[in-house]
Structure 1
Amino acid sequence: MSKIQVNTLHIIDNLWLGGAQTVVKGIFEKYSQNENFHLFVLRDTDEKMSVENKNVTVYHSSSRFHFRATIRQIQKIIKKENIELLHCHLPRSQYTGIIIKLIHKKIKLVFHEQGDVIDPFPLNLPAYKFFGNLIEHVICCSDFVKNTLEKKSRFPGEKISVLYNFVDRDVFTASDRVPGKKINIGFAGRLTQHKGWRDFLEATAKLSQKRPNICIHIAGTGKDKRKMLDTAKSLFPDSQFMYHGFVKKMDDFYREMDFICMPSHREPVGMVHIEAMASGKIVIASDVPGMNELLIHNKNAYLFEAGNINDLQIKLSKALDNSEKNSFLLKNAEKLLTKVSFSAFDENLQKIYQNKILAPDN
């Protein structure tokens, strides 16, 4: 692994459950010996990921209204560590980065866009529209996100790079689980409508009528938690459904699953499917932009039409009945995992820093 020499401060809104947080956690645990890399977390939360790195500072307040104190704390880190580059993840961090850039004009400002711009009403869109001249470069997690950002904000394409998220193969490894009498089908993600949790429950409920040996598992939390639990209670007996809540060690969750379903209605690129593949699990996912840049139907996953419960049920049935095809998919999944390895991410991040951000003509 190469070492980034520039003094860099990453800023992220929080360490709650999410793809951006997973990526940041992975970066800082891989770069744990890099004295040039620092992380500032704007807000503490009850449920959060832990990051094993001494250069992580968490502002210990659950309130969103501590702006001045946060800026002062960040400025102390900038002065002490001679920070040259700000790498901002998620909307609040991006706006914080803009304020810091206005104060410290020589600092290079980088946005890592994990897909907020694909939302119907993106919170960070004004940052690109009105303060784009302050942003040195934007790193997008997929071509879909890059194209959406250009279209919505008119931010110049030459200042945007695509860097796919990575999966940590030291954490997510194929398990030796042998399916027993119960077949475990899992969903992992934030419990909000666009993640498709209701489609997942309705499709698997129909499936369970003919296949009483399946057990449905959900990991994650969010504003739809109560709705999800009420829906599950109306569709499944207790013996066929298990809610795991917020799961800190997702590798343990995947290890106990036979299949992972990702029924999102929209997705910038996703993390669950590559983590599941690295864990040796068959993925059934919605065919949506971003996610289908990595997933190919009948090659490394089963894809279904987003929001189409009948199609999801059909693809789940095919996955359950076709062990030979599943072996073929898992073999091809290994090829994809090379593309989204940390070594590939690290190499490309180095190139972006050196060639697109720190080069003298930038």
Structure 2
Amino acid sequence: MLLHDLHSRRHPVLNIVFVVDIVLSGRGGMETALSLIYHELKQKHDITVILRGESADDAWEEGINTITLSAKINDFIPKHILFNMYSAALANVMKDLPRADIIVSTGAIGVKASTMAVKRLDIQVPVVSWLHFNLDFYYQFFEDLRAADGHLAISEGNLRDLNCVFPEKQNKLVYNPVKFDNIPYVNRAPHPVFLVVGRLAKVKNVDQILRAFSPLQKEYFELHIIGDGNQYESLVELSRQLGLQNHVVWYGWQPRPWDTVISATSLVLASDTEPFGLVLIEALARGIPVISSNCKYGPGEIINDSNGWLYEPDNLKQLTSILDGVMQGRLPLPAPELCRESVRSYAVQSIAERFEQALQDIENDQAIQQK
């Protein structure tokens, strides 16, 4: 799948304010995407990131102009009080900043609070959302999202949902960025080595991956699991129950997970839902083929005959068949170069250009409407 080429044009300097309306772990995909976009756009624009609270791990903030609001702003207080507190705190920060040209919120609460902050300051600034979960995750917050002047979609599926729910808004497809510069290929393993990289949470269905490998335990393979989460202990126990303990290597959370990968055959993903599928692109950028559930929305937009295999969600027999086919050579591995080229259009430079154009279009549209 190729992204449409954008006409190069000269953009005016924008003063962009990002509003992050959840407290970040510092280890997630949102931090990665925000950091990449920030550093690329910062080359041309002025950017401030306003965090709702302190990140559990603030290493990702290095080199980023962040402002952290009060820890008193939390989801345990009534919604109307939350919005009043949050909008007041945002307005208090923004009044001391250069006038914003556009505000980008990573969530519904931030959208509503930002529009209220703008009204408090009596200024006209468009507010857009940049959601990192599928739209059905926000079904209780549709009215808050309706306050936005536009929405940035990270997948084609998310764009379809946004156009369905908010057809009157400017909805723009921007995807999420991946760093390609100076990224080396990962060596192909001399024997089958499969990877799982990510949170060990229920939605990721790592238990299904273990069960799919169970019928193949007499084969010679390794399963490397990089990540941590609330299912870690139960997954370790399940691997023992399935007789896979000698096949599985547990790495826990790693600050630079791909530095841990010496060689690999394929990455495996079994999620119930993936709004984008960043880990798939990170693997493919390193020349690693991928195997994924065909969940909504990202995987089906990323994976094709040139870079991996899709299986139907919860169909463990189909997943086992693919794994066995890869091990036995019935399913030849795509060349590393083909894997990388299949996702080159997601490189941060290309995505930043889409991002920049989308913001400019929304800002221009709002300026026209205000005349």
User: Which residue of structure 1 aligns with residue 66 of structure 2?
Assistant: 56
Query: RMSD between aligned alpha carbons?
Result: 3.0
Per-residue deviation, residues 312-357 of structure 1 (Å, max 9, x unmatched): 11111222333983134x4433333222111211111121122232
Greater Cα shift, 282-291 or 25-34: 25-34
The aligned amino acid for 1:99 is: M
Give the stretch that moved more between structures: 272-281 or 157-166. 157-166
**TM-score, normalized by length of structure 1?**
0.84
Number of the residue aligned with 1:205 = 214
* 3-state SS, counterpart of residue 244 of structure 1: strand
Q: Does the 8 Å CA contact 2:19/2:50 hold for their aligned counterparts?
A: yes
- Check 1:286–1:352 CA distance in 2 against 1; reply closer, same or farther (3 A cut): same
Q: Partner of 2:185 in structure 1?
A: 174
List aligned pairs for 1:200-239, cutoff 5 A. Answer: 200-207=209-216, 209-211=217-219, 213-236=220-243, 238-239=245-246
1:80 matched residue in structure 2: 96
Q: Does 1:160 align with 2:171?
A: yes
Which deviates more, 269-278 or 330-339? 330-339
Match of 2:4 in 1: none
- For the residues of structure 2 that align with 1:236 and 1:102, how far apart are their CA atoms? 61
Determine which of 123, 132, 142 is the counterpart of 1:114: 132
Deviation at 1:160, TM superposition (A): 0.7
Distance (Å, rounded) in 2 between the aligned partners of 1:165 and 1:259 = 22
- Equivalent residue for 2:321, pick from 314, 320, 332: 314
Q: Which moved more, 1:85-94 or 1:52-61?
A: 52-61
- The counterpart of 2:354, out of the listed 348, 354, 359, is 348
The code of the aligned residue for 2:343 comes to: L
Aligned twin of 1:37 = 47
Q: Distance in 2 between matches of 1:22 and 1:92?
A: 21
Task: Structure 2 unaligned segments of length 5 or more: list them.
Answer: 1-7
Letter in 1 for 2:116: I
Letter in 1 for 2:167: P
Q: Against the structure 1 CA distance between its residues 155 and 19, is the aligned structure 2 distance closer, same or farther, given a 3 Å change threshold? A: same
Uncovered stretches (5+) of structure 1, i.e. residues with no partner: none
Q: What SS does the aligned partner of 1:294 have?
A: helix
Inter-partner Cα distance in structure 2 for 1:35 and 1:91: 25
CA distance, structure 1, for counterparts of residue 117 and residue 208 of structure 2: 43
**Retained in 2: the 8 A contact 1:91–1:123?**
no
Distance 1:93 1:186, change over 3 A: farther
1:105-164 Cα shifts (integer Å, max 9, x gaps) = 512101012224133x64533423xxx2x311100111211222344xx31265111111
Question: For the structure 1 residues 228 and 63, does the alpha-carbon distance in structure 2 shift closer, same or farther, using more than 3 Å as the test?
Answer: farther
Cα distance in 1 between the residues matched to 2:60 and 2:142: 29
Choose the corresponding residue for 2:269, options 245, 256, 262.
Answer: 262
* Aligned-pair CA distance for 1:51: 2.8
Cα distance change of structure 1 residues 54 and 189 upon mapping to structure 2, 3 Å threshold: closer
1:9-20 map, 5 Å: 9-12=17-20, 13-16=22-25, 17-20=27-30
Match of 2:117 among 97, 100, 104: 100
Secondary structure at 1:210 match in 2:
coil
Kindly tell me: are residues 103 and 255 of structure 1, through their superposed partners in 2, closer, same or farther at Cα, counting changes over 3 Å? farther
Equivalent position of 1:284 in the other structure: 291
Matched, 1:246 2:292: no
Q: Answer yes or no: is the 8 Å Cα contact 1:255–1:279 preserved in 2.
A: no
- In structure 2, do the counterparts of structure 1 residues 137 and 143 end up closer, same or farther at CA, with 3 Å as the change threshold? same
What is residue 15 of structure 2 aligned with on the other side? 7
More displaced stretch, 53-62 vs 8-17: 53-62
How far is the alpha carbon of 1:302 from its aligned partner?
A: 1.0
Q: Secondary structure at the match of 1:361?
A: helix
Aligned-residue offset at 1:202 = 0.9
Deviations 1:235-265 (A, max 9, x none): 3454322333332213214454332111112
> Distance between the aligned counterparts of 1:310 and 1:273, measured in 2?
22
Q: What secondary structure does 1:306 align onto?
A: coil
TM-score by length of 2: 0.82
**2:5 match:** none
Superposed CA deviations along residues 265-287 of structure 1, whole A, max 9, x for unmatched, are: 22222101000001111101112
Task: Measure the CA separation in 1 of the matches of 2:52 and 2:245.
Answer: 39
Paired-residue identity, %: 16
Give the corresponding residue for 1:192: 201
> Is the partner of 2:292 in helix, strand or coil?
strand
- Give the distance between the partners of 1:161 and 1:290, measured in 2 at CA: 16
- Measured after TM superposition, the shift of residue 311 of structure 1 is 0.6
Query: Which AA in structure 2 matches 1:179?
Result: A
State which of 138, 159, 162 in structure 2 corresponds to 1:149: 162
After superposition, the Cα gap between the structure-2 partners of 1:224 and 1:126, relative to the gap in structure 1 and judged at 3 Å, is: farther
